């Protein structure tokens, strides 16, 4: 049981390049999300998904795209990388709950991205 798998672990991009951060989970979780972590800023929600075909913006969505074609995968696309997107990116998943409740998140090991 691998849990949440993120690839790559490290990536260096040049300004303007595009790339996709991969996230896969094998726990049959409906809910998946992407966070970025910057010093002193905590974890900020980029995008989330409550099931295949359903995605929504989080707190800091600009410059990022997502799609959810399967329950298992939730890739994060950087369209045109900028130095401000230098960060550590975490993917997380959980079972979905309604009514304003949330289930505990399972995090991947993170992707450290540097944009020069």
Partner 1 sequence: GQQVMQIPQYQHVQEGEDFTTYCNSSTTLSNIQWYKQRPGGHPVFLIQLVKSGEVKKQKRLTFQFGEAKKNSSLHITATQTTDVGTYFCAEPRVRQAGTALIFGKGTTLSVSS
Q: By the criterion CB under 8 A, which residues form the site for partner 1?
A: 31, 33, 35, 40-45, 48-50, 54-59, 90, 92, 96-102, 104-110
For residue 99, the minimal CB distance to partner 1 (Å) is: 7
Coil, strand, or helix at residue 84?
helix
Query: Shortest approach of partner 1 to residue 13 CB, angstroms?
Result: 22
> Tokens for 63?
């410059």
Burial class (CB in 10 A: 0-12, 13-18, 19+), 14: exposed
Q: Please report how close the Cβ of residue 90 comes to partner 1 at its closest, in angstroms.
A: 6
């Amino acid at each position: 049981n691998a849990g949440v798998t993120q690839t790559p672990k490290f990536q260096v991009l040049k300004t303007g390049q595009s790339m996709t951060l991969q996230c896969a989970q094998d726990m049959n979780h409906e809910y998946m999300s992407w966070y970025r972590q910057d010093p002193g800023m905590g974890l900020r929600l980029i995008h989330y998904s409550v099931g295949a075909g359903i995605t929504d913006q989080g707190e800091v969505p600009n410059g990022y795209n997502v799609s959810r074609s399967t329950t298992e995968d939730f890739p994060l696309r950087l369209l045109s990388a900028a130095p401000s997107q230098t960060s550590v990116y975490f993917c997380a998943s959980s079972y979905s709950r309604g009514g304003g409740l949330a289930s505990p998140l399972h995090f991947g090991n993170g992707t450290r991205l540097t944009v020069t």
